[in-house]
Structure 1
Amino acid sequence: MTFPTKVKIVEVGPRDGLQNEKETIPAAIKITLINQLTAAGFVNIEAASFVSPKWVPQMATSTEVMAGITRKPGVIYSALAPNMKGLEAALAAGADEVVIFGSASEAFSQKNINCSIAESIERFRDVALATKQAGKRLRGSISCVFGCPYQGEVGIDAVVDVLHRMRDLGCDEIDIADTIGVGTPHQVKAVMQRLVQEFPADRLSGHFHDTYGQALANIYASLEAGISIYHASVAGLGGCPYAKGATGNVATEDVLYMMQGLGIETGIDLNAVVQAGQFISQHLGRKAASRAGNAIAAKLASA
């Protein structure tokens, strides 16, 4: 098995990582964080979410954040848009990529957004069409691929069905997400090997949470299946409000350290990411959830 020689890391900390924080984070802090991540070399940053502030209060400053960041040519700044109202706001704010989402678990879909998987994706049809007409990238995210907090196991056929639906909406990239972090390497490799038969491998991404400490091992298993795009969150920020006990996304610093050890190119300055992780963690008043990040920060401090 030959690993990819280069991978794309999609930094999701500013959106997926911060959205569930209880204390309101000022737009200026988010802007500083995104600017630090841009300077570190990321080519894709999930920066905002245009959802109702009633549901996700933390994202209420998304328009301000998108207006305040220093954009670098060639960098994709992504935003979630669950409906046409959200899409209009995302496009007005200058989002380069619009993200839509659906679950592979029927139970999760019903509990989360009160409708079936098929209905949930059908709701995105107008958003997908308008995104394409605006000349923007469209990314689809499939949650609960490796397990669901309500129904337990999720069958591979259900995942393939959602993948096909998102493909048919015109998604340029599709995220395969372990929302509650229950996946293990053998399972992940088998699922990814099946999915690359259904959709181009270079347009599939792995989005892993570290609830059970399996995220890095699952990324390794995905590399073996030929996946070359991964989502990660600076300082290990994040979680899922609908999944009890689910911890944050895999920490970007840990992923970068592993890629460095494997000789896989990322184009990202690890030390710069460590500093960004320490910055946001200090603001939040807690230690970063990245082992590599904290180890490197301690080393840099004593140098």
Structure 2
Amino acid sequence: MELIKKIFLLGFCVFPFTTIAQVTINRLSENSAAALHLEAMQPVTMEYGGFLMPIVTEAQQASIPVSTVDNRDDGMMVFVSDPVTGKRCWDIYDATVQVWRSITCINLDCPTIPTVLYEENFDSYTNGTGITGASAINGDYPSGVTKWTLTSYTTARDGTPAYPGTLSNADDFALVNSGMLEVQDANGPLLFETSTIDISGYTDILISMEISENGNLEYTNSAHTDDFNCGQESIGNDYVDIEYSTDGGTTFTEVPNFSGLGTANHTLHDELSGTVNFSVSGISGNSLIIRVRIQNWAAAEQYFLDNILVTCN
């Protein structure tokens, strides 16, 4: 191998401006379809070896100056081996959306102090951040690449998003108030959805959050047709559905009847008698999206969402 290296370097020095169409290592003949061809067996020692890509920590990976103006770095590869976060993944850079994607990972053990993969406690936003029936954007509601989005649905409740949807005035809203997301008089389903969360390599993910309420909330099970036709204002069906996806949002798994406080169709419903500490574990995959769908029907009725946390369990 050393002899081959010396011959290659000598050739480069003698013919420094010669264009080399293919580069072959450990082979005397070229593969015409390959720009770079590595043979596993070394011809001198007759020993086998492998390809070792660059190894970096997550902090070092973040410092790689990939282009944000074109696709020149599309497909760049590194192996992330981080003793602090525990991540051990083969990552490829996706220049189209300017993110590193984990292609495959070695299963990660959760450290003694669980790794926080996503957290939202709503403390970093000013009061009035969110949506109302009077304005699509309020406060410093995140825009562009966000941690979460809010969507109010059409009055037909057919699942088609539209602004302002069921929200009709300033008293109908989903707003951050006092460090919590408050949903008042949604007049139909209102959807909170997280951005995509990287859970690559972990085999047991835990989702947790706090849900509370205020007012005279109610639920009539006989009025349930589906999650978008679940009681008009005269019936006043009030509920919270929590669901998650590990396939990029193609399908979602809903958590039914949490701690006996819901039904087979809803995670929680009606009045909750204090703060509910929701949790679900045993989730695995490469990515995670969390949805919380909330419905209530009066200006004197509020559901509150707080302290959303995703950790390895």
Name the structure, 1 or 2, with higher relative contact order (CA <8 Å, separation 6+): 1
Whether TM exceeds 0.5 here: the answer is no
Which band: TM-score by shorter chain?
under 0.3
Between Structure 1 and Structure 2, whose CA radius of gyration is higher?
2
